[in-house]
Amino acid sequence: MDTEPERSYPSPIRDGLFVDRDGVSWRLRGGEVRWRRVRRLIQDPEVDVLHVYLDDVRAVPLSERSALLMRIAPYVEDARKRPEDHTDFRLAEFKAESRSLVVVEESC
């Protein structure tokens, strides 16, 4: 019986590094970041935001960030009240010089 090898998806948080299309190397700042800080960073137009879901790695424009925050809030604000739909989010802050990048990894 042939079985397909398990597929590996991109994970900047797991790797601790993300190189963007401009060649900028972003390094993980500590571990997962607190929700309060994520909310503030995601709303800051000077901060880049990256959403990773399966093979899709995309920059989140400022116009879509409020919707992203509303979508992930139920999963990260209170673990006891999180939805039971097998979706999970990991959040981390990356740095390149004095700039910040928030990485939101979604899995199911």
Identify the pLDDT of residue 103.
Answer: 96
- pLDDT tens digit string along 59-93? 999 999 999 999 999 888 876 777 778 888 999 99
- Residue from 41, 60, 15, 51 nearest 99 by CA: 41
β-strands 25-32, 17-19 pairing: antiparallel
Question: Residue 105 pairs with which residues in a beta bridge?
Answer: 52, 90
- pLDDT tens digit string along 2-57? 566 667 888 999 999 999 999 999 999 987 788 999 999 999 999 999 999 999 99
> What is the signed CA dihedral for 78, 41, 93, 68, rounded to 10 degrees?
60
Cα distance between residue 49 and residue 59, in whole Å: 6
Identify the pLDDT of residue 99.
Answer: 95
Instruction: Say if CB 37 and CB 93 are below 8 A apart.
Output: yes
Domain ranges of the chain: 12-107
